[in-house]
Amino acid sequence: MTRKSLVISPLLVVALLLALGCARTGVSDLAGRWEAKTETGVVVLILNEDGKGAWRTEMDEVTFRWSVRDGRLMLHAKSGGVVAAALPVEGRLELDLPSVGTLRFTRVERGK
């Protein structure tokens, strides 16, 4: 009887660690103030620990509710729309918005 040894790819190990890290990311990990610089100014994303949030530009402010579900950040607009984003990697959060493109947010302040 021969024994086969289990060979685990380093890439698989990294993928599993990332998946476990994302699974543990919760509300308190994401809460805070995030900013993205655009051609027209700064977009501010506020994620409060109570699940409420705000999207601010120089011309407008929109409030929403947010949650973490299935390893994704979900922004729930009052109108019923939902924007989903991958959880932050290395302190950066990317949102892909139709007809706007990708906004790259950096956390500037942690939630309180």
Whole-Å CA distances, 57 to 21, 66, 109: 31, 18, 17
What is the pTM for the complete model shown? Answer: 0.72
Structural domains in the chain, sorted by start: 30-110 (2.40.128.500)
Q: pLDDT at position 17, please?
A: 34
For residues 71 and 13, which has the higher predicted lDDT (pLDDT)?
Answer: 71
Write out pLDDT tens, residues 7-41. 433 433 333 333 334 444 566 689 999 999 998 89
CA distance 57 to 15: 36
